[in-house]
Every structure is written in structure tokens, then in C-alpha cells.
Amino acid sequence: MSRFSGITDNPHKERFNQKTGILLTNLGSPDEPSTKAVRVYLSEFLSDPRIVEIPRLVWMIILHGIILRIRPKRSAKLYKSIWTENGSPLTHITRLQRDKLSALLKQQGYENTEVVMSMRYGNPSIESGLEELREKGFTRIVVLPLYPQYSSPTIGSTFDAVSNVLRKWRWVPELHFINGYHKNTTYIDALANSISEDLKKNGTPQKLVFSYHGMPKLFLDNGDPYYCLCLQTTRLVIEKLTLDKELQLDKENVISTFQSRFGKAEWLKPYTDATLQGLPEQGIKDIAIISPAFSADCLETLEEIEGENREIFEEAGGEKYRYIAALNDRDDHIEAMLDVLKPNL
């Protein structure tokens, strides 16, 4: 009798057969475009200490005494302008991403996986997503926040939310937390593909603008790498695009800017709105703009970039303005998600 009798053929077989739950997360949206729902959403969002880093007591007085009395009504109007029959665009697109990623996983042979979507703020919550995975018996969980570039207010905050739930569980699952993927080649390829398709269809603009969500400059000064990761994303995409001679894209005609300022503090520069306002007087009247920090179209792209910033550019004398949509549920974007997940599957 062999001395190896009774030993399984593959000592890691049990591990390979473990069920892996994938928690796909994004920022979130109010439940409906009403003042009441937006107030609830903004209260949760703006109460996060990762979002606003000023003394807690002072900020709570400002938030509840001023901001939540004024901002929800204005924001509700903005949400109404982008709301669809499917509800919030961000929530709907994330749901499509979940479904397509789930199908691709099964197609690629990852049978013991399930994808659940959650939002950092609003519904479905991160807690509900984690509880769903626990109830279904998943002992391994991979968390994929759909923010390509790490920042404390996005991915850091998501980690906080996941940790706050798991610290209450008696049996904590094996956890893999993905804290960004801005250099992933399939993600860069997907971004480059979306830009290339637009430029080949509509022509090369005078300027190609990469507009990233902004943050207070103080965050950068305190060590947040987000600003540097955004610039690196732009560089990697442009390096990819300039290989295609058909595009005739000069990297000198590419700029990176930062949008969505809030409050009076200095934010990351250059500002998107100020840049767009100043381009026409420099003779730049034909631009294309893309927002690579957003994995799905949302208020900041559909209303701010497509609407507000378009008006700023055109009122300043701009003539041609086109927004290149977020990657949303494009097939190459879903393939990029799988590629990011693979080392943890």
C-alpha cells in the first residue's frame, strides 16, 4: 500500500471549491429625486469624516444648521434632470455591470462565484450586500470598489464601511479588498478604446480634456495619492492612443482637470469649469471631454459635464463640445473588471 494512500490528489482542492462572493460597490444615489430623499442621502454622505475633514462638532453644526436646509432642494432638481424610467442612472448602470460581470464569470468557468452590488451611501447598502453573501454561505469575499484611482473619500471610505460591518460578525470571512486599478492594462485599453472610437467617428478635437472628480488640495498635502494616480491614468491612456497613427493625437493637446468643487477651500487644480471657460479665448473652440474617474455615468457626468460645463464652454465662445461617455457596461469594461478580480479568484 502506498504511503500516500488517503491523501487527496490536490491538497488545495477544498480551497479551490470555496464559494467566492464579489461585492461590487459604487458611491450611490438618493432613492428618488425628491427633496426628502436627497436630504437623507446627503446627510449620510456628508456625515462621513472621510468626505469632510474639519472638526466634527463644527461641521455637524454647519451641515445640519445650513447645508441640509438649503442644498437638498437644489440637488433634487439636478437629480430630476437625469432621472430615467429605470431610476438613478448610476444605480441602473451598476446593476447592468453586476449582471454582465456575473455572466462573464460563469462563461470563464468561475462557477462558485456570485456578484452582489452595494452602494457606499444609500441603497442597496454595503451592510445589506455583505449580509446577503453571508446568508448564502460565502466564506471568501472580494470587495471591488468601482473607483479606478484610489482616494481616501472613495475607496478608503468603502473600506471603513466594510470593516464596520465585519467587526460585528463572529466569523469573519476571508476578505480581499481591491484598493484601485488605475494601472490595469485592460482598464487602460478600455478607456483608450472608448476615446479612439469617438475620435475616429467625430474627428480629432483641438483639445482632449480628462476631467477627474476633485478633492480639497489639503488631502493631497496630507498624503492622498489620488492626484498623482489621475495624472498617471491620463499618461497611460495617451501613450496607448498615440500608438494609433490614424488618430493623429498630439499629447500636447491633452489636459487633465478637476471638477465638482464644493465649499470655499482650494481644491485640486486646474479646475474643469475655469479651464473650459478660458479655452475659447485661446482659440480652442473644439473639444472632447472624458471623466475617467467615473466607472458609470451619474450626476457628475450627465448633469455637470454634459450640461453645466457644456454651457460654460459654449457661452465663452466654444463651438464643438462632446462628452465621451463613461465605460458603463461596455464589454471591454466588464472584461477589465474580471481582469482586476482574477488574482483574487
pLDDT digits (tens, 9 = 90+) for 20-60: 999 999 999 999 999 999 999 999 999 999 999 999 999 99
Catalogue the E-assigned strands of the chain: 20-26, 113-119, 140-145, 174-177, 207-213, 254-259, 286-290, 320-324
Write down the pTM of the prediction. 0.93
Cell numbers found for residue 126: 454595503
Tell me the torsion sign for CA atoms 209, 77, 129, 329.
negative
pLDDT digits (tens, 9 = 90+) for 147-202: 999 999 999 999 999 999 999 999 999 999 999 999 999 999 999 999 999 999 99
Cell numbers found for residue 320: 464643438
Tell me the torsion sign for CA atoms 306, 209, 24, 268.
negative
Give the three-class secondary structure for 34: coil
d(CA 141, CA 130): 9
Q: Is the domain of 172 the same as that of 201? A: no
Q: Is the domain of 38 the same as that of 153? A: yes
Q: Which domain holds residue 299?
A: 185-324
Is the Cβ–Cβ distance between 249 and 242 less than 8 Å? yes
141 occurs within a structural domain: yes
Q: Is the domain of 151 the same as that of 238? A: no
Q: Is the domain of 319 the same as that of 338? A: no
d(CA 37, CA 297): 20
Q: Which residues pair with 115 in a beta bridge?
A: 22
138 occurs within a structural domain: yes
Concatenating the DSSP letter of every residue in 210-248 gives EEEE--BHHHHHTT--HHHHHHHHHHHHHHHHTT-TTT-
Q: Is the domain of 158 the same as that of 217? A: no
Q: Is the domain of 133 the same as that of 212? A: no
Residue type for position 170: R
For the chain, the domain total comes to 2
10 occurs within a structural domain: no
Q: Is the domain of 143 the same as that of 130? A: yes
| Residues of the binding site for Fe(2+) | 213, 300
2 occurs within a structural domain: no
122 occurs within a structural domain: yes
207 occurs within a structural domain: yes
Q: Is the domain of 152 the same as that of 265? A: no
Is the Cβ–Cβ distance between 234 and 314 less than 8 Å? no
Q: Is the domain of 139 the same as that of 22? A: yes
Q: Is the domain of 309 the same as that of 190? A: yes
Q: Which residues make Cβ contacts (< 8 Å) with residue 107, sequence separation at least 6?
A: none
Q: Is the domain of 174 the same as that of 195? A: no
pLDDT at 13: 46
Tell me the torsion sign for CA atoms 141, 146, 152, 157.
negative
pLDDT at 3: 40
Is the Cβ–Cβ distance between 116 and 26 less than 8 Å? no
11 occurs within a structural domain: no
Concatenating the DSSP letter of every residue in 173-203 gives PEEEE----TT-HHHHHHHHHHHHHHHHHH-
Q: What is the CATH number of the domain that holds 156?
A: 3.40.50.1400
d(CA 125, CA 91): 12
pLDDT at 98: 98
Asked whether the predicted pLDDT for residue 10 surpasses 60, the reply is no
Q: Is the domain of 35 the same as that of 144? A: yes
5 occurs within a structural domain: no
pLDDT digits (tens, 9 = 90+) for 246-302: 898 999 999 999 999 988 899 999 999 999 999 999 999 999 999 999 999 999 999
| Residues of the binding site | 213, 300
pLDDT at 17: 57
